[in-house]
């Protein structure tokens, strides 16, 4: 078994910092190469490593393609990065891949869009509480002017109770376990390290493509040699980070659910929760609908060891178009059960997102959300994931599963939560969702966009040795 070099991997890749609920994400622009390198030499001493089991606070750092340019990587080195990293999220063909149309179009983004100031770096700060986080942020900010750093945008987060997201559902359950990090899990959910961290074998039993840099004359480097003579493996122990700010319209979501489940002009709370659970694929507690088809069961709130083929191949329990079934079809694709799982695991991502904005109510129970009138302000999710191949993992999920209107026999449907119903190929310009039942199929139409993309970018998070190389160029 390959030994994972956690000492050289930035900590957020290895663990989600659940014990550090307070965090900020700072989007930075860098000035001159020299000033940026001097800052990097300073901050590199404070970068949290994956080998730290429970750090009292955490600092992690990633760069865009343009940021690596500022830091002095030449064209031949930059050419070894994948094209999707260079292209970013905002080109016209990426709109088609990611479904960023209508209100989610890049020209309407608040950051990261083609009209905005280019983002060069992402500074990720984590702490046990808001007071400690502010101190950590102030400590970092005091160096910005000195090293010609511009704070483009500071993204604050919110701690939501009971591990829920703003719509009221338990979140962050279905995470792959990285093979070789020591945690035990089912074989089906244990995924090769090279799917998330460069320098290790992936699900194809191959080493993923890795960026390379030249050996600097007269300077030592701890980077391992690359296959090409005279080049170093810059990607070893690094990963590609996808960051998307997604606003959630909680009021629109629950008002829509209420409007299509009313009986004789009266709200039917149980019918509302049941339909919302069908769209999500889990009940508010987190219990999977495929395991608990009739009602919520809090004893199943974190259950993730289930499939669809044996008990729910037709989607009678969990609709085929539901959010969690689309984003991870598990054993339900057109192949044998084991082959389907193998295929699905070649498109997994490692999620590290956080929520932002004030929740509409403290409990985030659907009944209380419905009674609440506190819908002012923006709230949503900072979607963050790691993958070794952006095109085969994140972009494939978005294009082939989330926004595919004909996924696994469906017709004219997209993901009911995060699919974009303003897609230009959608002749009706409205969303559909179907719920099979006893040979029939109940269709729901005119689904509005419940989420809106507000900004985004692709980053590369280098290993610690790669950070040292950038600082020494």
In whole angstroms, how far apart are CA 118 and each of 67, 74, 330, 455, 456? 9, 19, 38, 12, 11
* Listed range (28-42, 195-209, 389-403, 410-424) with the worst mean pLDDT: 410-424
Do the Cβ atoms of 223 and 200 come closer than 8 Å? no
Query: Residues 59-76: what's their mean pLDDT?
Result: 97
The answer, yes or no, to whether residue 203 has pLDDT greater than 70, is yes
Label residue 404 by pLDDT band (50, 70, 90). very high
Average pLDDT, the chain: 93
- What does the alpha-carbon distance between residue 326 and residue 398 come to, in Å, rounded to a whole number? 9
Label residue 420 by pLDDT band (50, 70, 90). confident
Label residue 424 by pLDDT band (50, 70, 90). low
- What does the alpha-carbon distance between residue 235 and residue 240 come to, in Å, rounded to a whole number? 10
The answer, yes or no, to whether residue 429 has pLDDT greater than 60, is no
Q: Give exposure, 149-161, as e/b (b: 16+ Cβ within 10 Å).
A: beebbebbbeebe
Query: Residues 91-109: what's their mean pLDDT?
Result: 93
Pair of tokens at residue 323? 């959010």
Label residue 230 by pLDDT band (50, 70, 90). confident
3-state DSSP assignment of residue 76: helix
- What does the alpha-carbon distance between residue 187 and residue 341 come to, in Å, rounded to a whole number? 10
> Global pTM?
0.96
Answer with the residue of higher pLDDT: 341 or 429. 341
Q: What angle is formed at CA 324 by the lines to CA 323 and CA 325, rounded to 5 degrees? A: 95
**Percent of the chain predicted with pLDDT > 90:** 81
Q: What is the pLDDT at residue 218? A: 67
Non-local (6+) Cβ contacts of 276 within 8 A are 167, 169, 253, 254, 257, 284, 366
Q: What is the pLDDT at residue 78? A: 98
Q: What is the pLDDT at residue 392? A: 97
Q: What is the pLDDT at residue 427? A: 52
- What does the alpha-carbon distance between residue 230 and residue 115 come to, in Å, rounded to a whole number? 39
Q: What is the pLDDT at residue 171? A: 92
Do the Cβ atoms of 364 and 320 come closer than 8 Å? no
| Side-chain half-sphere CA neighbours of 104 within 13 A | 27
List the beta strands (DSSP E) in 161-228.
177-178, 190-191, 212-214
Instruction: Classify residue 117 by its DSSP letter.
Output: P
- What does the alpha-carbon distance between residue 13 and residue 19 come to, in Å, rounded to a whole number? 15
Question: How deeply is 129 buried, as exposed, middle or buried, from its count of CB atoms within 10 A (0-12, 13-18, 19+)?
Answer: exposed
Q: What is the pLDDT at residue 363? A: 87
Number of domains into which the chain is organized: 1
Q: What is the pLDDT at residue 440? A: 79
Query: Residues 105-109: what's their mean pLDDT?
Result: 97
List the beta strands (DSSP E) in 143-182.
149-156, 177-178
Q: What is the pLDDT at residue 23? A: 98
Q: What is the pLDDT at residue 265? A: 85
* Listed range (28-42, 157-171, 420-434, 440-454) with the worst mean pLDDT: 420-434
- What does the alpha-carbon distance between residue 105 and residue 92 come to, in Å, rounded to a whole number? 10
- What does the alpha-carbon distance between residue 228 and residue 12 come to, in Å, rounded to a whole number? 30
Label residue 425 by pLDDT band (50, 70, 90). low
Answer with the residue of higher pLDDT: 267 or 70. 70
342-397 residue pLDDT tens = 999 999 999 999 999 999 998 888 888 888 878 999 999 999 999 999 999 999 99
Closest by CA position to 121, among listed 473, 472, 470, 444 = 470
The answer, yes or no, to whether residue 473 has pLDDT greater than 90, is no
**Domain, as residue range, for 294:** 1-473
Query: Residues 394-407: what's their mean pLDDT?
Result: 94
Answer with the residue of higher pLDDT: 161 or 352. 352
Q: What is the pLDDT at residue 106? A: 97
300-334 residue pLDDT tens = 999 999 999 999 999 999 999 999 999 999 998 87
CB atoms within 10 A of CB 363: 14
- What does the alpha-carbon distance between residue 172 and residue 245 come to, in Å, rounded to a whole number? 16
Query: Residues 405-424: what's their mean pLDDT?
Result: 86
Do the Cβ atoms of 41 and 34 come closer than 8 Å? no
């Amino acid at each position: 078994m390959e030994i994972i070099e956690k000492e050289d991997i930035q900590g957020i890749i290895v663990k989600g910092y659940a014990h550090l609920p307070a965090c900020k994400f700072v989007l930075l622009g860098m000035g001159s190469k020299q000033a940026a390198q001097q800052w990097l030499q300073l901050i590199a001493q404070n970068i949290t490593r994956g080998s730290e089991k429970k750090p009292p606070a955490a600092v992690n750092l990633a760069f865009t393609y343009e940021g690596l340019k500022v830091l002095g990587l030449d064209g031949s080195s930059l050419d070894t990065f994948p094209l999707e990293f260079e292209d970013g999220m905002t080109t016209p063909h990426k709109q088609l891949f990611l479904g960023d149309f209508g209100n989610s179009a890049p020209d309407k983004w608040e950051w990261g869009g083609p009209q905005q100031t280019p983002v060069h770096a992402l500074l990720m700060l984590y702490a046990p509480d808001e007071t400690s986080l502010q101190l950590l942020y102030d400590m970092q900010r005091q160096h910005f002017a000195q090293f010609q750093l511009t704070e483009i945008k500071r993204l604050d987060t919110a701690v939501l109770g009971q591990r829920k997201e703003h719509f009221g559902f338990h979140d962050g359950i279905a995470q792959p376990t990285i093979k070789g990090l020591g945690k035990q899990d089912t074989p089906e959910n244990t995924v090769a390290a090279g799917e998330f961290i460069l320098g290790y074998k992936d699900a194809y039993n191959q080493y993923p493509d890795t960026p390379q840099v030249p050996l600097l004359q007269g300077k030592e480097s701890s980077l391992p040699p690359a296959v090409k003579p005279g080049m170093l493996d810059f990607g070893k122990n690094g990963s590609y980070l996808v960051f998307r700010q997604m606003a959630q319209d909680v009021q629109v979501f629950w008002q829509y659910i209420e409007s299509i489940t009313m009986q004789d002009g009266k709200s039917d709370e149980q019918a509302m929760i049941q339909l919302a659970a069908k769209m999500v694929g889990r009940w508010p507690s987190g219990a999977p609908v495929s395991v608990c088809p009739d009602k919520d069961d809090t004893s199943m709130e974190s259950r993730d060891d289930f499939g669809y083929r044996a008990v729910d191949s037709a989607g009678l329990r969990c609709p085929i178009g539901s959010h969690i079934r689309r984003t991870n079809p598990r054993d339900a694709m057109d192949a044998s059960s084991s082959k389907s799982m193998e295929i699905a695991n070649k498109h997994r991502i490692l999620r590290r997102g956080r929520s932002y904005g004030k929740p509409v109510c403290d409990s985030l129970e659907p009944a209380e959300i419905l009674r609440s009138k506190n819908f002012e302000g923006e709230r949503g999710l900072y979607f963050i994931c790691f993958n070794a191949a952006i095109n085969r993992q994140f972009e494939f999920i978005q294009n082939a599963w989330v926004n595919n209107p004909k996924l696994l026999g469906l017709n004219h449907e997209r993901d009911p939560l995060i699919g974009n119903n303003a897609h230009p190929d959608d002749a009706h310009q409205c969303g559909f969702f179907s719920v099979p039942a006893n040979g029939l199929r109940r269709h729901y139409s005119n689904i509005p966009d419940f989420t809106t993309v507000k900004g985004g970018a692709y980053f590369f998070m280098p290993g610690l040795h790669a950070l040292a190389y950038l600082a020494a160029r």
